């Protein structure tokens, strides 16, 4: 919609400028009426929900309102246009107006309005956000002595009348807790309570209950960026960074789970009172998926794990004698579903950080593994729907898979897996390739 409106605006401004140059007149009265009409059309499209109002439309609305008001004032004053026509002045005014429309419509182009993926469950979904403060940990990214805090958001069945399994999600390296909102909504609509975690200073940004905003830490950002480049770190240095990141992530996840389990015993808030504390699943994308697999090994109360496009950092061993990675030799006993894009699928046979993910690893012989052919790393999040331009920029190109097919199929697989493992519904038998 943003791109279409920009094309219409550019076409109108260019066509009108050419008309003025051909007739050698300013046609100010016609321009005023047309700008009033355009603003009215914008209002009608918004009221009829063709344009779904959101922050992306604030700048275009302000620009069109200003043009409509100035046009109306000019018509009311009804002054005779005595200004002499000048082509150079007309061209400059047109260029400025074109730039103004481009600037105003950038948010709508970068973050286009889009239909939400299908929600197939019977429950209406509610959300709630909280900030948990860990009194047992100090924040390592600051020197002010504050305790570590974690922001979480719940998606859960509205008007709940029973207890539901708890599912805990962890985002990727630069992600945010809303990265897979369509997945949480689908799961909650089928009777799950989903909580997604913002890992402060690992997430792109996070906002606390008191309004505090925290952006990604620059040192962490640089470390992740350098890890994806050849020759920056030795294997030993890479391994050290991975262990540091995983400790922070798994400490956050353990703290959130323990906090929720405690609140389920004492807090009268509806979302906590409807959690079945005997049924817990964890899942995550990229680094969050690695953290989820780690918790699947670490905690006895985790009943199912979904790993979305992540290495098994929990099963990665650095062997000094060979100066390279090897896979841990211990069976993984928690039910596990791996979902891979092309970006990761092509690395599963290498001796990289994915060495433990090899399909012939006998310690994961009972795990389910599916491959989304044509998908890229971010195809397994909602970002390609929310901002195709941003997703393509971050992952270095567009994916060869329909984003709605990819996300909706992924959501369906995750739902069926958790239904089987946590609720005993159905028999999970996925295809190998989608």
Per-residue pLDDT tens digits for 186-245 = 999 999 999 999 999 999 999 999 888 999 999 999 999 998 888 899 999 999 999 999
pLDDT above 90: residue 136: yes
pLDDT above 90: residue 409: yes
- The alpha helices in 274-387, defined as continuous H runs, are 287-298, 342-345, 383-386
Local structure of residue 422 (DSSP, 8 states) = I
- Tell me the C-alpha distance between 96 and 109, whole Å: 19
Kindly indicate the confidence band of residue 17, based on its pLDDT and cuts at 50, 70 and 90. confident
Q: 374: alpha, beta or left, given left = phi > 0 and alpha = psi -120 to 50?
A: left
- Tell me the C-alpha distance between 140 and 248, whole Å: 9
The predicted pLDDT at position 313 comes to 96
Kindly indicate the confidence band of residue 62, based on its pLDDT and cuts at 50, 70 and 90. very high
Same domain, 277 and 356: yes
Same domain, 231 and 376: yes
73 phi, psi to nearest 5 deg: -60, -40
Tracing tokens 């809303």 back to the chain, one arrives at 178
The predicted pLDDT at position 335 comes to 98
Kindly indicate the confidence band of residue 412, based on its pLDDT and cuts at 50, 70 and 90. very high
- Tell me the C-alpha distance between 145 and 27, whole Å: 66
**Across 16-20, 59-63, 369-373, 430-434, least confident range:** 16-20
Same domain, 246 and 363: yes
Same domain, 207 and 238: yes
As a whole number, mean pLDDT of residues 71-91 equals: 76
Pair 57, 46: CB distance under 8 Å:
yes
Span 246-302, pLDDT tens digits: 999 999 999 999 999 999 998 888 899 999 999 999 999 999 999 999 999 999 999
* Owning domain of residue 368: 125-423
Tracing tokens 């992740």 back to the chain, one arrives at 224
Tracing tokens 């599912």 back to the chain, one arrives at 167
Same domain, 153 and 31: no
Same domain, 410 and 381: yes
Pair 182, 382: CB distance under 8 Å:
yes
Residue 223 lies in a domain: yes
Pairing of strands 193-198, 147-157: antiparallel
Pairing of strands 205-207, 125-138: unpaired
Residue 120 lies in a domain: no
Domain boundary among 71, 86, 110: 110
Domain boundary among 85, 110, 135: 110
Same domain, 104 and 130: no
pLDDT above 60: residue 426: yes
Closest by Cα among 383, 371, 376 to 430: 371
Say if residue 432 is exposed, middle or buried (CB neighbours under 10 Å; 0-12, 13-18, 19+). exposed
**Across 7-21, 154-168, 222-236, least confident range:** 7-21
Closest by Cα among 2, 260, 69 to 156: 260
> What is the token pair recorded at 241?
């960074």
Same domain, 189 and 71: no
Percentage of the chain beyond pLDDT 90 is 67
pLDDT above 60: residue 81: no
Same domain, 280 and 313: yes
Residue 432 lies in a domain: no
Alpha-carbon distances, residue 56 vs 1, 11, 12, 97 (angstroms):
11, 22, 22, 19
Pair 200, 214: CB distance under 8 Å:
yes
Alpha-carbon distances, residue 240 vs 20, 155, 348, 384, 414 (angstroms):
67, 35, 22, 32, 32
Angle at 59 between CA 57 and CA 61, to 5 degrees: 65
The total of structural domains in the chain comes to 2
Same domain, 396 and 258: yes
Residue 115 lies in a domain: no
Pair 302, 313: CB distance under 8 Å:
no
- Torsion, Cα 203 205 207 211, to 10 degrees, reads 150
Query: Count of CB atoms within 10 A of residue 37's CB?
Result: 12
Pairing of strands 275-285, 304-308: parallel
Residue 167 lies in a domain: yes
Closest by Cα among 147, 151, 146, 158 to 130: 151
Percentage of the chain beyond pLDDT 70 is 98
Same domain, 147 and 85: no
237 phi, psi to nearest 5 deg: -70, -40
Residue 168 lies in a domain: yes
Give Rg (Cα) of the chain.
27
H or E stretch at 138: strand 125-138
- Tell me the C-alpha distance between 306 and 233, whole Å: 29
CATH number where 130 lies: 3.40.50.1820
Local structure of residue 216 (DSSP, 8 states) = P
Residue 311 lies in a domain: yes
Same domain, 194 and 319: yes
């Amino acid at each position: 919609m943003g791109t279409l409106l920009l094309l219409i605006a550019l076409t109108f401004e260019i066509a009108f400028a050419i008309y003025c140059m051909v007739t050698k007149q300013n046609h100010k009265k016609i321009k005023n009426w047309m700008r009033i009409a355009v603003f009215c059309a914008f209002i009608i499209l918004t009221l009829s929900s063709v344009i779904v109002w959101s922050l992306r439309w604030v700048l275009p609305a302000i620009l069109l309102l200003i043009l409509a008001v100035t046009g109306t004032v000019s018509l009311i004053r009804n002054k005779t246009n005595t200004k002499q026509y000048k082509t150079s002045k007309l061209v400059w005014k047109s260029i400025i107006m074109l730039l103004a429309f481009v600037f105003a419509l950038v948010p709508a182009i970068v973050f286009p309005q889009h239909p939400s993926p299908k929600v197939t469950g019977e429950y209406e979904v509610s959300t709630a956000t909280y900030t948990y403060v860990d009194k047992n940990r100090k924040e390592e990214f600051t020197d002010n002595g504050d305790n570590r805090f974690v922001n979480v958001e719940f998606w859960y069945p509205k008007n709940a009348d029973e207890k539901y399994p708890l599912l805990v999600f962890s985002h990727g390296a630069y992600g945010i807790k809303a990265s897979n909102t369509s997945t949480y909504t689908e799961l909650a609509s089928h009777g799950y309570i989903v909580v997604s975690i913002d890992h402060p200073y690992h997430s792109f940004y996070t906002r606390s209950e008191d309004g505090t905003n925290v952006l990604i830490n620059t040192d962490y950002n640089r470390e992740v960026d350098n890890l994806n480049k050849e020759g920056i770190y030795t294997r030993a240095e890479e391994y050290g960074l991975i262990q540091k990141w995983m400790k922070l992530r798994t400490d956050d996840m353990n703290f959130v789970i323990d906090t929720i389990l405690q609140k389920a015993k004492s807090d009268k808030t509806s979302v906590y009172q409807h959690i079945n504390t005997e049924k817990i699943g964890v899942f995550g994308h990229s680094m969050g998926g690695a953290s989820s697999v780690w918790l699947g090994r670490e905690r006895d109360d985790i009943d199912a794990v979904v790993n979305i496009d992540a290495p098994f950092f929990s099963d990665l061993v650095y062997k000094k004698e060979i100066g390279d990675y090897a896979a841990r030799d211990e069976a993984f006993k928690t039910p596990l579903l791996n979902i891979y894009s092309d970006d990761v699928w092509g690395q599963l046979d290498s001796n990289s950080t994915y060495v433990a993910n090899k399909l012939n690893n006998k310690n994961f012989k009972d795990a389910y593994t599916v491959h989304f052919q044509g998908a890229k790393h971010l195809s397994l999040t909602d970002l390609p729907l929310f901002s195709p331009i941003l997703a393509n920029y971050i992952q270095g190109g567009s994916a060869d898979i329909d984003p709605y097919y990819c996300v909706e199929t992924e959501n369906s697989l995750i739902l069926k897996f958790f239904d089987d493992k946590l609720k005993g519904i159905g028999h999970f038998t996925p295809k190998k390739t989608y």
